[in-house]
Amino acid sequence: MLSSSASATLRGIDGQRVQVQVHVVTGVLPSFSVVGLPDASCREARDRVRAAINSNKFKWPSQARVTVNLAPSQVRKEGAGLDLAIALGIIAASTLDEKAAARELDEGGVKQPEHQRLPPELLEGYGFVAELGLDGSLRSVPGVLSRVAAIDDLIVVVAPAAAHEASLAGAETVRCAASLRQVVDCLKGIDSWPDHPPVPKIDHRRNVPDLADVAGHPFARQALEIAAAGGHNLLLVGPPGAGKSMLAKRLPGILPDMENEVALVASRVHSVAGLGIPNDSLLRVPPFRAPHHSASMTALIGGGSGRLRPGEISCAHGGVLFLDELGEFAPGALDAMRQPLEDGSVHISRAHASVRYPARFCLVAAMNPCPCGLLGSVEPCRCNEQSRQRYMRRLSGPLLDRIDLRVHMQRPSANQLMSSDKGESSQSVRARVLAARAKAHTRGFPSNSLIPAGQLDEFAPISDAGRSMLKGALADGRLSARGLARVRMVARTIADLADEDTVSETSIASALALRARPVLFDSLGVTHV
């Protein structure tokens, strides 16, 4: 017999509907084959499905040829999310129709027990997304949010652990069951679908570090606030122990919650990457990703030889990508971020597939001014000129040109560290950031860093005095054409934080000061950054 059921696989962060067709022919040499471009995990389904069927007291068609077709056949199928659909298809296709049953009885056979039967028509109108354990239990799979969205016109059956995530995808009806046996009984009306597991309410900002913990650094704190208000990239340079990482980790605490569209995309990325999403909602607090400096280009950008997977820049979509020890990252991996920083997305092309991942994030980088970390501090630097040059060559000019704010930090003084006075809290800083973001929204942009260069004259007009400052910076080689546009965007953000409608020369001067070359660039004579 032939049965058909619906499921879904992944293409990038998008779901792709898959029709699982199962054909069972008895009386021939027994075999089990899966066709339709399955990957290794899909082909392994035959072993998982066979064990699950036997464990749940169903009869495996041992004297039959079983063919599973995953349509459309030109789309590569990946993951174990098709297990449940394949198992139900085999059970339904193995169910004898009335003529076959009568023929068996006439020939002295035994009619298939009722509890092992599943009429194929009961699978119509349902979609199935779950992995099967060897005991027949249903397990969640990565990318449930995207998979369910691809079949949201059907009643979708998932594992209990994935029930809430599936309901966020917009499906009309989501059902869950603990085992293959329970799914069959519910489809036949013998049992009722269980309720979804309860979802606890969680305060997702409760564990976000507070900016009040940072001692001193007024200039760096101001730069962090500007980065949050305008979505600008930030570079912190300073000796070990200056507080660079501590400051960067507090950026999500002053960022606004992600809007619905961004939250949905970010949640889909995290679901596909296997990072999980909150139990009670989509991702709302901007994600904070901090990969180790040994991360490869594939880990940062995404891709892979087999299954294409989103990288760290995509997992940071809508939030912050923190690169600590920037000078220790592989130069090729850093340069690969140049295009995503401009476009807000990354295109991954391989021989078997081509996908696009979102990558709109705020880059925050921290590094020492030299290999020993003491250049520009009170203690003398122990590095020679060659080692400093070699250290600096790991950072390309085009990458640095895309970083809007550069701050050189020193270690806080003893009085600042031992003072009992707390700095301004994240809550009060976040209020100003929200007000500045609201002004950007009135212009039609989520943040000022997304204002097109051609519209800066409209949204960030500058006075004659400010224009003269910018001309001087261009003439001195301190600014590139890209840097000119970014300085104007930063100036617009500074004016918004000051609640000023126009961009004054004071805002331009502050933006230029925040883009000034840190001491390591000056010592090496680096320009156009």
Measured over the CA atoms of residue 166, residue 172, residue 176 and residue 180, the dihedral's sign is negative
Residue type present at position 482? R
Mean pLDDT of the chain: 87
> Residue 84 and residue 330: Cα distance in Å, rounded?
42
pLDDT tens digits, one per residue of 144-172: 999 999 998 999 999 999 998 898 887 67
pLDDT at 204: 64
Confidence of residue 256 (pLDDT cuts 50, 70, 90): very high
pLDDT tens digits, one per residue of 450-481: 999 889 989 988 888 888 889 988 888 888 88
Topology of domain 2-187, CATH:
Ribosomal Protein S5; domain 2 (3.30.230)
Whether 2-187 shares its CATH topology with 211-436 is answered no
Residue type present at position 125? G
> Residue 197 and residue 163: Cα distance in Å, rounded?
8
The 10 Å CB-count burial string (b at 16+, else e) for 370-402 is bbbbbbbbeeebebeeeebeebbeebeeebbbb
Residue 309's DSSP bridge partners are: 303
pLDDT tens digits, one per residue of 430-455: 999 999 999 999 999 999 999 998 89
Confidence of residue 524 (pLDDT cuts 50, 70, 90): very low
Mind giving me the DSSP string for 17-81? EEEEEEEEEESS--EEEEESSB-HHHHTHHHHHHHHHHHTTPPP-TTEEEEEEEESTTSPB-SST
Closest CA to 404 of 241, 247, 502, 513: 513
What element of type H or E holds 520?
Answer: helix 519-524
3-state DSSP percent of the chain in helix, strand and coil, to 5: 40, 20, 40
Contacts of 372 (CB under 8 A, 6+ apart): 381, 382, 383
> Residue 406 and residue 398: Cα distance in Å, rounded?
15
Residue 126's DSSP bridge partners are: 155
Of the given ranges (37-51, 97-111, 237-251), which has the lowest mean pLDDT? 97-111
Contacts of 180 (CB under 8 A, 6+ apart): 52, 53, 56, 58, 84, 87, 88, 132, 136, 137, 138
> Residue 284 and residue 256: Cα distance in Å, rounded?
9
β-pairing, 155-158 vs 173-176, is: parallel
pTM, full prediction: 0.87
What element of type H or E holds 344?
Answer: none
Q: Is the pLDDT of residue 528 over 50?
A: no
> Residue 23 and residue 94: Cα distance in Å, rounded?
9
Contacts of 108 (CB under 8 A, 6+ apart): none
Structural domain boundaries of the chain?
Answer: 2-187, 211-436
Domain 211-436's class?
alpha beta
